[in-house]
Amino acid sequence: MTRRFDPARLAIYVLLVLFGILFLVPVYVMLSTSLKTFAEVQDLSRLWGLPHNVTLESFSAAWSGIPEKGVRGLSRNLLNSVNLTIPATIISAMLGSLNGYVLSKWKFRGADVVFPLMLFGMFIPYQSVLIPLTQTLSAIGLGGTLWGLVLVHVVYGIPITTLIFRNYYAEIPNAMLEAARIDGAGILDAYWRVVFPLSLPGFVVVIIWQFTNIWNDFLFAVSILQRPALQPITVALQNLSGSQIKEWNMVMAGAILAALPTLLIYVITGRYFVRGLLAGSVKG
């Protein structure tokens, strides 16, 4: 379709660009502030300006801390986030895949009651389970540990991962499973030989979704992990931004460090990210 000049179309582009700029203001703020020196951040007449002397000193401060000011670096917390997010994501994806397989292809009696009861778990305000959760984790020796938090993310990830895989496997024709069964495959054989090899896109969606959610979690982490050395980056960033004298360039550098992993995943795998997003609204 070729179009001649059309004021309505111009208006569409103007609006789209305007909104684009508005959406990017916080990104500009983060980048420009983080690239400034502490002296320049304090110069209030240049708050919104580009940095005069671009420097990465705020990033090295955010990374390794400023010991003489008692400011802890975030490198340790970034590592905690990685150590926490990767196992929790993989385990909950595996569980979701098995659950989704059974709940879409091998419905047992009562499966249609079990599924909505499971789903409800992803909507509850987690505040309503936090007290028993912290008590239980302490009782089983996982209180205040990263593995305790991994367990928590695996458990509360069950509803969404099951939902996404159940929807995904519903698309696999039953005839393919029937064929495998005629060849004598049992329920587990059929999973490994037919369903699992077709699961890659499902796993991509679930892994992106869980990685993002677990990486970004704050409430569970701040309630369960009291020791600063164990906390993931979201909690450490909140501590950093809550300190009395705010070194804004360092705080923004920290925010960028915390945001980068999930942001990169989003930019690289946008289509799959959106699929996970839409799956969360139940009807998909």
Positions in 49-108 near other proteins (CB under 8 A): 95, 98-99, 101-103, 105-106, 108
CB of 197 to other proteins, least distance (A): 18
68 or 91, CB closer to other proteins? 91
Can you tell me the distance from the alpha carbon of 137 to that of 184, in angstroms, rounded to the nearest whole number? 44
3-class SS of residue 66: strand
What count of other Cβ atoms lies within 10 Å of the Cβ of residue 117? 10
CB of 81 to other proteins, least distance (A): 10
Is 18 an interacting residue with respect to other proteins (CB under 8 A)? no
| Dist. CA 135–CA 146, nearest whole Å | 16
Q: Which is nearer to other proteins, 66 or 126 (CB)?
A: 126
> 68 or 245: whose CB is closer to other proteins?
245
Q: Examine residue 212 and tell whether it contacts other proteins (CB under 8 A).
A: yes
Decide: is 272 part of the binding site for other proteins (CB under 8 A). no
Residues with Cβ < 8 Å from 18, sequence gap 6 or more?
none
Report the SS3 class of residue 38: helix
Is 258 a residue that touches other proteins (CB under 8 A)?
yes
Closest distance between other proteins and the C-beta of residue 234, in Å?
Answer: 4
Q: Judged by CB, which is closer to other proteins: 68, or 272? A: 272
Does 10 contact other proteins by CB under 8 A?
no
Q: What is d(CA 111, CA 133) in angstroms, rounded to the nearest whole number?
A: 27
Examine residue 192 and tell whether it contacts other proteins (CB under 8 A): no
158-187 residues in contact with other proteins (CB under 8 A) are 158-159, 162, 166-167, 170, 174, 177-178, 181, 186-187
| Sites for other proteins among residues 114-143 (CB under 8 A) | 114-121, 123-133, 135-136
Q: Is 188 in the site for other proteins (CB under 8 A)?
A: yes
Site for other proteins in 24-53 (CB under 8 A): 24-26, 29-30, 33, 44-45, 47-48
Assess 15 for contact with other proteins (CB under 8 A).
yes
Count residues near other proteins (CB under 8 A). Answer: 101
CB of 181 to other proteins, least distance (A): 8
Closer by beta carbon to other proteins, 40 or else 217: 217
158 and 95 Cβ atoms separated by less than 8 Å: yes
CB of 94 to other proteins, least distance (A): 11
Please say whether the beta carbons of 149 and 84 come within 8 A.
yes
